[in-house]
Structure 1
Amino acid sequence: MFSLKLFMLSFLLFSSILYTKAKTSKKVKHIQWILKYSGWKHLNDVKSISYYQKKFDLHSLFEIPKTYLECDKKIRNMTIYLACTYAKVLKNFSSVIIHTQKICKNKFQEKDIISGCICTEELVNMISIFIVPMITLMKSAIDALDLLHKKPWVTGDRNNLIISILLEIIPNIIDKFNKQTLSRNEMSTYYQTLKIVKSYFKTIIIRNVNEGRNVHCEYVPYDTNYLWNEWVQEYNDIIDKDIKLSFFKFLNRKIMVYIRSVIIEKYFQLGFKFDPITEETFVPIGPTELELEFKAIDEEPSTPIQIENYKLL
């Protein structure tokens, strides 16, 4: 009897070791494939991330884990690094949205009601058609990476990553827009809509997703307004040449091009795939998934992402 019990105990221990090794090997392989995508090497906006009072720079992401525990730590660090990267994109866009919101508000204050209405309508379309779908895609990428962890934040009672929480909140602005339908017969709907925009993009993003409150991220120094300033200068150069061009038509085009580059460089080139049927993001594993990666430096996405009537091809 003793020998049988000893044999069973030895068998269980041996089986558990094999299972752990197999599980670890699979997860290590998964991480290795993800990190072979070129985009991870170009996440240079973030200087380092902090987790459990330890700092990790971009170089540390490419240290291959050996154990199951190390795999989970690596996944957590990659998730935070990605979230910090997306946070900077959000802050850049928030600056553009806030500046545009001020332009619309000034039109009303100057009693240029028609221009104020058109400005507000264009701003709502800009947010709904371009910004929110991009934010939704970012959230799904963060969640897809997080779900590789043994204890993902996304399924827990508390999500410890403030950026992921905000990425989930921001798309709710569409519900606000739907409840506050614009009507030129009721100017208060325009004023209220501009307040909603300011609340979401200034209060929620700029005041919360920043280096001070988000203790995870340390950025390479940059000017939050650089994107807006660059676009305004470019537009002024165009109209100085006596070329007639609507500012909002110009701005829509710049935003569409910028979002396209963000999705390619900070989504597809990081190995994320989009399932058009389920409309979900997943992180595949296997050498065949890298074939498109090496076709061109400026890789095009393998699956077109539909944003309303615009395609990022």
Structure 2
Amino acid sequence: MFSLKLFMLSFLLFSAILYTKAKESKKVNHLQWILKYSGWKHLNDVRYITYYKKKFDLHSLIELPKFYLECNQKIRTMTIYIACTYAKVLKNFSLVIIHTQKICKNKFQEKDIISGCICTEELVNMISIFIVPMITLMKDAIDALDLLHTKPLILCVMNNNIISILLKIIPNIIDKFNKQTLSRNEMSTYYQTLKIVKSYFETIIIKSVNEEINGYCEYVPYETNYLWNEWVQEFNDIIGKDIKLSFFKFLIRKIMFYVRSVIIEKYFQLGFKFDPITEETFLPIDPTELELEFKSIDEEPSTPIQIENY
């Protein structure tokens, strides 16, 4: 009997060791395959991130892990790196939205009520159709990568860092819009909606993101309003050629293409996939699922993501 129990214990220990080694090997292989996606090599907005007072640049980020013990640190630094990248995108878009909100507000102050209504309606549509889906994908990508860690930050109750902040501020703005239905019979609904937009993008996103990135993200220097200034200059150049074009139509097209490029370059090309049935983001484990490289940013992603044409 003693020999049988000893044999069973030895067998269980041996099986546990094999299982652990297989699990460890699987995690190493998983990370190695994720980092083979081309997008990780092109996250050039961030100079370096800081994690436990240690700096990690792009070179150290894309260095393939060789051992299981390296995996958790690699996952954490990758998660913070894309969180910093997404934070910059959020700030860029938020500044564009805030500038646009001011244009709408000025229309009402100038007593151009019809233009103010149209401007506000266009702004709400722009946020709902393009920006909210993009932010949701960002949140889901951070979530999917974080969950590969042995101790995911998302499961920590007492957690306050750039990752958790980004997860917390992701859209409930649509619910706010739904509660504040626009009605041309009640102009106060337009004023209230513009206040919601200003509060959400200026206070919740920009302020919250700025407070968190200071401790984690060091960016390659850039002009804060570069996206808005670039688009305004491009529009002025078009108008200067006597081409009649509504600024809002121009802006919607620019946002649509920019959102599309962000999703391709900073989502699909990082290895993230979207399941249209479950509406979930995941990182495939099977090496045979490795995406073909995108030859051009204009190429359609292999996994369908619906962004409505305006």
Q: Tell me if TM exceeds 0.5.
A: yes
Instruction: Provide the C-alpha distance between the structure 2 equivalents of 1:41 and 1:77, rounded to a whole number of angstroms.
Output: 14
1:213 Cα deviation (Å)? 5.1
1:146 Cα deviation (Å)? 1.0
- 2:119 paired with 1:119: yes
Cα 1:81–1:57 shift into 2, 3 Å: same
- 2:148 paired with 1:145: no
Structure 2 equivalent of residue 195 of structure 1: 195
Instruction: Provide the C-alpha distance between the structure 1 equivalents of 2:248 and 2:70, rounded to a whole number of angstroms.
Output: 49
Instruction: Provide the C-alpha distance between the structure 2 equivalents of 1:67 and 1:288, rounded to a whole number of angstroms.
Output: 22
Partner secondary structure for residue 208 of structure 1: helix
Partner secondary structure for residue 175 of structure 1: helix
Q: Deviations over 1:207-264 (max 9, x none)?
A: 1212765411111111120000000000001111111101100000000000010000
Instruction: Provide the C-alpha distance between the structure 2 equivalents of 1:19 and 1:164, rounded to a whole number of angstroms.
Output: 32
Matches within 5 A, 1:232-311: 232-293=232-293, 296-298=295-297, 300-307=300-307, 309-310=308-309
Structure 1 portions without partners, runs of 5+: none
1:182 Cα deviation (Å)? 1.0
1:57 Cα deviation (Å)? 0.9
1:22 Cα deviation (Å)? 0.9
Structure 1 equivalent of residue 183 of structure 2: 183
Instruction: Provide the C-alpha distance between the structure 2 equivalents of 1:81 and 1:223, rounded to a whole number of angstroms.
Output: 20
1:204 Cα deviation (Å)? 1.2
Instruction: Provide the C-alpha distance between the structure 2 equivalents of 1:87 and 1:105, rounded to a whole number of angstroms.
Output: 26
Structure 2 equivalent of residue 227 of structure 1: 227
- Look up the equivalent residue of 1:310 and give its one-letter code: N
Partner secondary structure for residue 65 of structure 1: coil
1:4 Cα deviation (Å)? 6.5
- Look up the equivalent residue of 1:226 and give its one-letter code: Y
Q: Deviations over 1:96-129 (max 9, x none)?
A: 0000011111111111111111111111111111
Instruction: Provide the C-alpha distance between the structure 1 equivalents of 2:233 and 2:174, rounded to a whole number of angstroms.
Output: 30
Q: Which moved more, 1:275-284 or 1:16-25?
A: 16-25
Structure 1 equivalent of residue 166 of structure 2: 166
Instruction: Provide the C-alpha distance between the structure 1 equivalents of 2:62 and 2:129, rounded to a whole number of angstroms.
Output: 36
Instruction: Provide the C-alpha distance between the structure 1 equivalents of 2:196 and 2:288, rounded to a whole number of angstroms.
Output: 45
Q: Deviations over 1:122-158 (max 9, x none)?
A: 1111111110010011111111111111111223324
Structure 2 portions without partners, runs of 5+: none
Q: Deviations over 1:40-83 (max 9, x none)?
A: 00001011111111111111122332333321111111111111
Structure 2 equivalent of residue 33 of structure 1: 33
Matched positions, count: 309
RMSD of equivalent CA atoms: 2.0
Question: Residue 83 of structure 2 contacts residue 142 of structure 2 at CA under 8 Å; is this kept in 1?
Answer: yes
Matches within 5 A, 1:97-108: 97-108=97-108
Q: Which moved more, 1:35-44 or 1:280-289?
A: 280-289
Structure 1 equivalent of residue 46 of structure 2: 46
Question: Residue 136 of structure 1 contacts residue 168 of structure 1 at CA under 8 Å; is this kept in 2?
Answer: no
Cα 1:170–1:197 shift into 2, 3 Å: farther
Question: Residue 28 of structure 1 contacts residue 71 of structure 1 at CA under 8 Å; is this kept in 2?
Answer: yes
Structure 2 equivalent of residue 207 of structure 1: 207
Instruction: Provide the C-alpha distance between the structure 1 equivalents of 2:170 and 2:147, rounded to a whole number of angstroms.
Output: 21
- Look up the equivalent residue of 2:187 and give its one-letter code: M
Question: Residue 140 of structure 1 contacts residue 280 of structure 1 at CA under 8 Å; is this kept in 2?
Answer: yes
1:162 Cα deviation (Å)? 2.9
Instruction: Provide the C-alpha distance between the structure 2 equivalents of 1:163 and 1:106, rounded to a whole number of angstroms.
Output: 36
Percent of residue pairs bearing the same amino acid type: 84
1:30 Cα deviation (Å)? 0.3
Partner secondary structure for residue 208 of structure 2: coil
Matches within 5 A, 1:17-28: 17-28=17-28
Question: Residue 136 of structure 1 contacts residue 167 of structure 1 at CA under 8 Å; is this kept in 2?
Answer: no
Structure 2 equivalent of residue 88 of structure 1: 88
- 2:98 paired with 1:130: no
Q: TM-score, normalised by structure 1?
A: 0.92
Cα 1:223–1:69 shift into 2, 3 Å: same
Question: Residue 159 of structure 1 contacts residue 165 of structure 1 at CA under 8 Å; is this kept in 2?
Answer: no
Instruction: Provide the C-alpha distance between the structure 1 equivalents of 2:166 and 2:61, rounded to a whole number of angstroms.
Output: 24
Instruction: Provide the C-alpha distance between the structure 2 equivalents of 1:124 and 1:11, rounded to a whole number of angstroms.
Output: 63
